[in-house]
Amino acid sequence: MSEIVYEIKNLKKHYEINLGLFKKPKIIKAVNGISFNVKKGEVLSIVGESGCGKSTTAKLILKIEEPTSGQILFEGEDITKLQHHELSEYRKKVQIIFQDPYSSLNPRWKVGSIIGEPLKLNTDMSDKEIKERVLYLMEKVGMHPDWFERYPHQFSGGQRQRIGIARALALNPEVIVCDEPVSALDVSIQAQVLNLLLDLQEEFNLTYIFISHDLSVVEHISDRIVVMYYGDIVELKSVEDLFNNPEADYTKKLLSAIPTIKE
Amino acid sequence: MNLLEIKNLKTYFYSDAGVNKAVNDISFEIPKGKTVCIVGESGSGKSITSLSIMRLIDPPGKIVDGEVIFEGTDLLKLSDKEMRKVRGRDISMIFQEPMTSLNPSYTVGYQIDEALRLHQKQLNKKQRFEKVVESLELVGIHNPREKYREYPFKLSGGQRQRVMIAIAMACEPKMLIADEPTTALDVTIQAQVLDLMNDLQKKKGTSILFITHDLGVVYQIADEVVVMYKGHIVEKASAKELFADPRHPYTKALLHSIPVPGVTPRKSKLDTVDENVDYLSFPKEIR
């Protein structure tokens, strides 16, 4: 059996909304007691519609949000208790690729600085070493070395997403959380980015936590799928199982929403 | 019978850098009661085509040449005043972003009523109210009488898009232009909205021009498909023919770039549209 990277136990995130001085606060149960494992080297997808808690789960894993209760064990260590130095060590191992390549890159920075920033912050590499590493990463994601001095606005959506991927790879992470990495892209570009993600996974032995609402994409890329609905996991299975014999009503509904030809 | 015929339409954008031929000599027809889909990537000219039909092109853009014949009249030759009567009454449009295309400071009912106030002046207030309620019912909104008085912020994305469709359908137009109406919606809601549009078409016989980059959506809703690439039509065929037997290299590349569950081998390399290939050099496939 392959090694387990993440063990998530009974994870909860509740948000309180104050309705007024004399009213009871309303509680939104964004993630309501979910448990699952992530194995090393797999692509685990989380699917569901907006508001189902998939992005909140990602934020909890990345420790951008603190859970209300529950545990997230990363290689056996509970990350909800990490502080200072340990936390920054953890953050080097887990990176994210964002959905929107237009708003997740600083428009005033050159490509080289964007990709090199994680290295500058987290390592003692010299400027020269950083430049070498950035050029290597750019080659890996299929970008021309001459583009080092360019600004994000000079690129198309697909190219920008490559910049985001190179930045995520900079620190040699073990896990990459991909938050809808292709949903803002044109279909033709989607395929290029998916191909790239699969290639990189093989080359660097990465584990992906892939968040998406597009079932065709998820079917193509994943090993296992978590289906979420209103903060709960309704089904967790291998791709084959989920597509061949979905059990939960919600999963069936999702699968039937995959378009079929007009009669 | 064709409701709309577009002949040799050219829409150019002028800037200091030169002329951008956004729509470069395209011709196609929209039959009565059928759905025609325009597919293409961003920048292919699909949205500019729909805006040209509605004559909503602002400078530096200009419709340079061509004809847009709607029931025998060339829309491009109408005066501004006459064109305003066509918009909303004969041809309506739904936009991509249901979150931003409704006015947040007016009630839902008021905004649907607006179309009726402008185009159906023979109706009195009470008749209009009933008509608004009826159109909300038609698009599947529960408690239409209560929803009439709601503001857009209280509605979900799917409900807002239904309201947009209700506004567009209020005057029972002969043609509906839908520019990526489901792109911002969740898959399950998308399926509902597409079903709704198919239903409305059956009930009212409306022709639909549907613009999208999502081939899955095309598969579900189209009778005829027009594939656009860099301002040109590269392939035109019925939806069945196109999906069964795509002929133009660009269409093939586009179709093969999306994984199909159960058909595309899992984790295999997907075909991509090659940026270095000039797909315009291949002959056009117009069926």
Interchain proximity A216–B258, CB inside 8 Å: yes
pLDDT above 80 for B208 = yes
Residues in chain A closer than 8 A to B264 (CB atoms): 220
Arithmetic mean of pLDDT over chain B: 87
- Picking from A198, A253, A257, the nearest residue to B267 by CB comes out as A198
Instruction: Report percent pLDDT > 70 for chain A.
Output: 98
Q: What is the pLDDT of residue B98?
A: 66
Chain A interface disruption, residue of B267, B273, B276, B279, most A CBs within 10 A: B267
Q: What is the ipTM of this complex?
A: 0.70
- pLDDT average, residue stretch A58-81: 90
Banded pLDDT at B88 (limits 50, 70, 90): confident
Average pLDDT over residues A206-235: 91
Question: How far A71 CA lies from chain B's nearest CA (Å)?
Answer: 30
Q: Are B8 and B27 in contact (CB under 8 A)?
A: yes
Which residue does chain A place closest to B194, by CA atoms? A259
Residues 6+ apart with CB under 8 A from B161: B94, B98, B181, B182, B184, B185, B189, B193
pLDDT of residue A183: 81
Kindly state the average pLDDT of the residues B186-198: 82
Q: Say which of B190, B220, B254 has its CB closest to residue A187.
A: B254
Query: What per-residue confidence (pLDDT) applies to B70?
Result: 92
Distances (CA, A) of A56 to A7, A68, B94, B271: 17, 12, 32, 33
What long-range pairs does B56-63 form, CB within 8 A, spacing at least 24? Answer: B57/B11, B59/B14, B60/B13, B60/B14, B60/B15, B61/B11, B61/B12, B61/B13, B61/B14, B61/B22, B62/B11, B62/B12, B62/B13, B62/B14, B63/B9, B63/B10, B63/B11
pLDDT for position A259: 65
Structure token digits, residue A67: 């859970």
pLDDT at A225: 94
**Tens-digit pLDDT profile for residues B177-186:** 998 888 777 7
CA-based diameter of chain A, in Å? Answer: 63
Q: Higher pLDDT residue, A183 or A34?
A: A34
Distance in Å, alpha carbon of B188 to nearest chain A alpha carbon: 6
Tell which of A160, A187, A192, A217 to mutate to test the B interface (max B CBs under 10 Å). Answer: A187
CA nearest to B62, candidates B32, B124, B20? B20
In the predicted structure, residue B12 carries a pLDDT above the cut 90: yes
The lowest-confidence range among A150-164, A185-199, B193-207, B257-271 is: B257-271
Q: What percent of chain B has pLDDT over 70?
A: 99
Contacts of A221 in chain B (CB under 8 A): 267
Whether the Cβ atoms of residue B24 and residue A170 lie closer than 8 Å to each other: no
Question: Taking 50 as the threshold, does the pLDDT of residue A198 lie above it?
Answer: yes
Residue A111 CB-density burial (10 A; 0-12 exposed, 13-18 middle, 19+ buried): buried
Residues of B in contact with A190 (CB under 8 A): 257-258
Closest-CA distance of chain B to residue A127, Å: 34
Whether A262 shows a pLDDT value over 60: the answer reads no
> Does B41 have pLDDT greater than 90?
no
User: Which chain A residues touch B273 with a CB distance below 8 Å?
Assistant: 188-189, 191
Closest C-alpha to B111, from B67, B165, B65, B73: B165
Residue A263, pLDDT above cutoff 50: no
Given a cut of 50, is residue A87 above it in pLDDT?
yes
Confidence of residue A49 (pLDDT cuts 50, 70, 90): confident
Q: Chain B residue closest to A42 (CA)?
A: B267
What angle do the packed helices B187-204 and B157-169 form, to 10 degrees?
20
A211: pLDDT strictly greater than 70:
yes
Predicted pLDDT at B272: 81
Task: Write down the pLDDT at residue A99.
Answer: 84
With CB atoms and an 8 Å threshold, state whether B267 touches A192.
Answer: no
Averaged pLDDT for residues B88-105: 83
Closest residue to A195, CB basis, from B42, B264, B269: B269
What average pLDDT does chain A have? 89
Q: Which residues of A17-51 are buried (b: 16+ CB within 10 A; e: fewer)?
A: eeeeeeeeeeeeebbbbbebebbebbbbbbbbbeb
Residues in A lying within 8 Å of B, measured between beta carbons = 49-50, 157, 186-192, 194-195, 198, 213-217, 219-221, 239, 243, 253-254, 256-262
Nearest chain A residue (CA) to B269: A195
CB contact under 8 A, B261 and A187: no
Confidence of residue A127 (pLDDT cuts 50, 70, 90): very high
Q: What is the pLDDT of residues B107-146, one digit of tens each?
A: 999 999 988 888 888 888 899 999 899 888 878 788 888 8
Cβ–Cβ below 8 Å for A259 and B219: yes
pLDDT tens per residue, range B246-272: 899 999 888 888 887 777 888 888 888
